[in-house]
Structure formats: C-alpha cells, structure tokens
C-alpha cells in the first residue's frame, strides 16, 4: 500500500509553494551582502564621513604652506598692485596640534566606517538567516494545515460509518482551524523577515527572489575571557572612542597655544605705479599677540576638558556593556550548542520512527493516520534542527561583530 493520495498531493503542493522558488531568482547570502554594501545609505554616510575628515585634515595643514595672493588695481596708484606671500614661521605648536586633532578624527571616522560595514554585513546575514528560519516554520505550518485537512476528512468518513464520535469530529475541526491560524501567523512572519532583508539590501530594481538554505556553521572555541579581551582591543566603537580621545587632547593643546603669540613672515612684489616711491620688493617678519577675545579661549579650554571627561566615561560605559554582552552571548551559544545536539538526536529518532511506521504500513499493521503522524513528527524535528542552527549562527554573528572580527 502507498501513502494516502491526498497527503501526497498536499506534499506536492508544498513543494510548489515556497514562493514558486523554481521560477524565481535565488540570491545566495554572499550576493545579498554585496547588494547591501553597494546600496545601503547608512554605509554611504559612513564613507562620506571619512571623506569629510580627510578634507578637514587638508584644511588644517594649509597654514604650514605659503599663502600666495595677488592684487591688481587699475589704474595703478602708488604701490597698491602686486603679489603677496605670507608664511607662518612659528605659532608654538598650535597648527601642529590642530593637524594632530584632525588626524585623530580621521582615524575615528575610519574605525566608524569599519564598524558600520561590520554591522551591515552582520545585520544582512542575520536578516537572511531569520528569513530562512521563518521560511522553514512557514513550510512546517503549511504541511501541518494540509495534514489537519486530511485528518478531518478521514474523521468525517469514519464518523459516517460510526467509528468516530461527534466529539472527535469536532476536535478535528478545531485542530484544523488552529493550524490555519498558525499558518496565517507564519505567513506574516515570513513576509516581515523578507521585507527586512529587502530593506537592508535597498535595491528597488530587485524582483521577487528566493533564498538558499545554508546550514553550515562554525563553533566558537575561544573562552569568554579571551573574547572579552579581543573585544577590548578590536571593537570598532572602542577604537573610535580612543581615537577621539587623542583628537580631544590635541585640541586641548591647540587651545592652550592660543594664549601664545604667532610669528609670521611676509614678502611682496609690487608693480610700479604712478607716484611710486617705495621699493618693488619688500620682506619682513611680524608677530601676532592675542590680548583679549571675550573669554572665548577660556571657553574652548573648558569645552575640551569636558569632552575629555565625557569620552572617558563613554569608553568605560562601553567596556562595561561589552563585558555584559559578551557574557550573555557566550552563554547563549553554549545553550544553543546543546539544543542543536538534542534536535539532531530528535531528527534521527523521528526519521527512524518514520521508517518503521512505513514498514508497518506496507505490512498493513499501521493505519494511514499513524503514518501521517509519523511524517509530521519527522518534518517538525527537521524544522527544529534547522532553526536551532540558524539561531546559533545569528548569536555567533552578534558575538563576532562585538569582538571586532571580520564577518566573511
């Protein structure tokens, strides 16, 4: 004897389900990440921040070079027309400190860019795995609904010949409605997961696409202490804060220098004009002495000191959060490793049970209902095993990104 015809038809329809994957483009996870990196606006913002910091660094270096300008007045009057060159000679380190501050800000922006890339890659991976997990749950719910429909039909047939009670028939109908509700819920969850993935990829030209199963995973073998140490040294946010600290200290040095004079040189070549009496070429050295600027320099000093205190507090707060987050994620991974092992055993046991029930069914010692139940248990075990792997991969990605590791 064979498996019930309606149940086979249900399984066939389930294969055609899954968004008619055979007719859709399948986008693997690597391609999804490439699309996200190319189109995501938040990542473009981070790249722009680096370019802005480079421009500010170039501007900060400008006083180190000669400043050349020209002036022409027509008609010539005296010596008003000519070329002029100014060169800062010594400002007691103010310009050098400003350059160092901009260099640190550029370094901070580069660390932020690295962090943004890591976060985007991580979030795209997570969204992809969540979509796969919801797809598995949706397929499981669809199979269960089809099975409940078939069981209701069988119960109606048995009720008609007096082999099932009215209560059993009513319960079969209730079970079907509950399965339908679960199917609707899973459809919504899957659509939301795909919407989130498309949002991260941010490519309006994408048609409907399917996603590819990916059950390969690597275990995290480092100890919790090693992971915390790695996060302290490699986390992009910590690196960015430390670079900002260097920039604040350089700005503080620059603000101190604003109380000191600046020495500069000036040279000029002036055209002969009507009434010219002075030499065509002149050169000299001058000094600028700050006297009073409305206490602005004191305010700048106070601001830099306050920013330094804030940066230290932010760094300490981030370190404390990292210790907590690494500990939580590490414990979750260990828990999920055990779940994967348990679900793997459950899948093996349910597969063996299904095989035995099939043999009994072919020998006419098991009913169609028993076979359907065994098939459902096996499919549920397979879905649980797959989803436990995706849960592990998601937590692992969060841990890797927190520790500043590159996500392949």
Q: Is pLDDT at 252 greater than 60 in this prediction?
A: yes
What is the per-residue pLDDT for 22?
Answer: 45
For residue 223, which phi and psi values (nearest 5 degrees)?
Answer: -80, 165
Strands (E) across 100-150 are located at none
Domain boundaries, the chain: 5-402
Q: How far apart are CA 408 and CA 404, in angstroms?
A: 12
Higher pLDDT, 265 or 384: 384
Q: How far apart are CA 294 and CA 290, in angstroms?
A: 11
Higher pLDDT, 190 or 70: 190
**Average pLDDT of span 100-114:** 94
Omega of the bond prior to 75 within 30 degrees of 0, cis? yes
Q: What dihedral angle (degrees, nearest 10) is formed by the CA atoms of 384, 212, 20, 204?
A: 120
In contact, 143 and 365? CB cutoff 8 Å = no
Q: How far apart are CA 109 and CA 98, in angstroms?
A: 17
Q: How far apart are CA 270 and CA 41, in angstroms?
A: 53
In contact, 285 and 263? CB cutoff 8 Å = yes
- Confidence class for position 289, pLDDT limits 50, 70, 90: confident
Q: Is pLDDT at 273 greater than 80 in this prediction?
A: no
pLDDT in tens, 39-85: 999 999 999 999 999 999 999 998 888 888 877 776 655 556 777 88
Q: Is pLDDT at 377 greater than 80 in this prediction?
A: yes
What is the per-residue pLDDT for 366?
Answer: 85
- Confidence class for position 267, pLDDT limits 50, 70, 90: confident
Residues contacting residue 162 through CB under 8 Å, at least 6 positions apart: none
* Token pair listed for 319: 């370190």
Residues contacting residue 74 through CB under 8 Å, at least 6 positions apart: none
Tell me which CATH homologous superfamily contains domain 5-402. Answer: Outer membrane efflux proteins (OEP) (1.20.1600.10)
Q: Is pLDDT at 277 greater than 70 in this prediction?
A: no
In contact, 87 and 268? CB cutoff 8 Å = no
- Confidence class for position 278, pLDDT limits 50, 70, 90: low
In contact, 176 and 152? CB cutoff 8 Å = yes
Q: Is pLDDT at 310 greater than 60 in this prediction?
A: yes
Instruction: Please give the distance of CA 192 from its chain centroid, rounded to a whole number.
Output: 18
**Average pLDDT of span 78-104:** 82
Q: Is pLDDT at 194 greater than 50 in this prediction?
A: yes
For residue 59, which phi and psi values (nearest 5 degrees)?
Answer: -65, -40
């Amino acid at each position: 004897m064979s498996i019930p015809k309606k149940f086979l038809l249900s399984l066939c329809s389930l294969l055609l389900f899954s968004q008619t994957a055979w007719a859709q483009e399948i986008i693997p996870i690597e391609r999804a990440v490439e699309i996200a990196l190319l189109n995501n606006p938040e990542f473009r913002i981070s790249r722009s921040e680096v370019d802005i910091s480079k421009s500010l660094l170039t501007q900060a270096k400008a006083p180190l070079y000669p400043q050349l300008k020209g002036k022409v007045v027509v008609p010539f009057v005296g010596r008003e027309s000519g070329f002029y060159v100014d060169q800062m000679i010594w400002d007691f380190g103010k310009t050098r400190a400003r350059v160092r501050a901009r260099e640190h800000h550029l370094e901070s922006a580069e660390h932020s860019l690295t962090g943004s890339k890591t976060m985007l890659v991580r979030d795209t991976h997570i969204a992809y795995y969540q979509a796969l997990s919801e797809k598995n749950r949706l397929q499981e719910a669809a199979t269960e609904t089809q099975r409940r429909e078939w069981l209701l039909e069988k119960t109606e047939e048995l009720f008609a010949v007096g082999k099932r009670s009215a209560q059993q028939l009513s319960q079969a109908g209730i079970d079907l409605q509950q399965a339908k509700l679960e199917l609707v819920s899973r459809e919504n969850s899957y659509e939301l997961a795909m919407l989130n993935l498309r949002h991260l990829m941010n490519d309006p030209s994408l048609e409907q696409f399917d996603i590819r199963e990916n059950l390969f995973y690597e275990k995290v073998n480092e100890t919790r202490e090693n992971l915390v140490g790695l996060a302290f040294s490699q986390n992009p946010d910590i690196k960015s804060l430390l670079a900002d600290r260097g920039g604040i200290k350089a700005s503080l040095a620059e603000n101190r220098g604003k109380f000191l004079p600046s020495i500069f040189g000036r040279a000029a070549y002036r055209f002969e004009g009507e009434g010219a009496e002075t030499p065509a070429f002149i050169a000299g050295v001058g000094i600028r002495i700050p006297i009073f600027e409305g206490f602005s320099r004191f305010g700048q000093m106070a601001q830099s000191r306050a920013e330094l205190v804030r940066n230290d507090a932010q760094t300490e707060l981030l370190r404390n959060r990292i210790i907590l987050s690494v500990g939580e994620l590490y414990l979750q991974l260990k828990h999920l490793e055990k779940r994967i092992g348990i679900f793997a055993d459950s899948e093996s046991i349910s597969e063996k049970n299904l095989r035995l029930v099939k043999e009994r069914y072919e020998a006419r010692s098991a009913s169609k209902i028993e076979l359907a139940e065994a098939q459902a248990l096996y499919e549920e075990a397979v879905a649980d095993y797959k989803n436990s792997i995706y849960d592990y991969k998601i937590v692992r990605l969060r841990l890797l990104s927190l520790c500043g590791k590159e996500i392949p």
